Structure formats: C-alpha cells, structure tokens
Amino acid sequence: MEDFSALRYMWAQAQTLGMVTPIDLIPQLADPKDLYRLLRPVSARTAHTDDLHETVEA
C-alpha cells in the first residue's frame, strides 16, 4: 500500500508541475488479430506474404 501511495503522490506532483505527457502504448495495427506482426522481422513478414500469394495463385 505504501508503494501505491508514493506513486499516487508522485503522479499528483508531476501533474502539478506539468511534467505529464500522454503516450500511446497500444500500436495501430493494420490487422488487430495479427498480434505478432510487430515482433516478426521484416524479411519474415515479406516471406510469409509471398508464400501466401503463391498458395492463393496455385
């Protein structure tokens, strides 16, 4: 409980001093169901989409 009280106090002081800046913690994804897209390397992403296109064309 002491930690929460300290954090709450520090938050209030930071707000008073104008030190609080909101940030986006959730990325904007083209496909929200593909949660691992940001973790995959770019080369793996393009390889995955190339495989997908080959499967669709066949």
pTM over 0.85: no
Query: What are the pLDDT tens digits along the chain (58 aa)?
Result: 689 999 999 999 999 999 999 888 887 778 878 878 778 777 765 655 555 555 555 5
- Residues 6 or more apart whose CB falls under 8 angstroms from that of 31 comprise 37
Inter-residue long-range contacts of 52-57, CB under 8 Å, 24+ positions, other chains counted = none
**What are the structural domain ranges in the chain?**
24-58
Residue 24 in tokens? 């986006």
Q: Buried b vs exposed e over 15-37: b needs ≥16 C-beta within 10 Å? A: eeeeeeeeeeeeeeeeeeeeeee
Helix, strand, or coil (residue 10): helix
**pLDDT reported for residue 55:** 52
Q: Which residue matches tokens 């083209």? A: 30
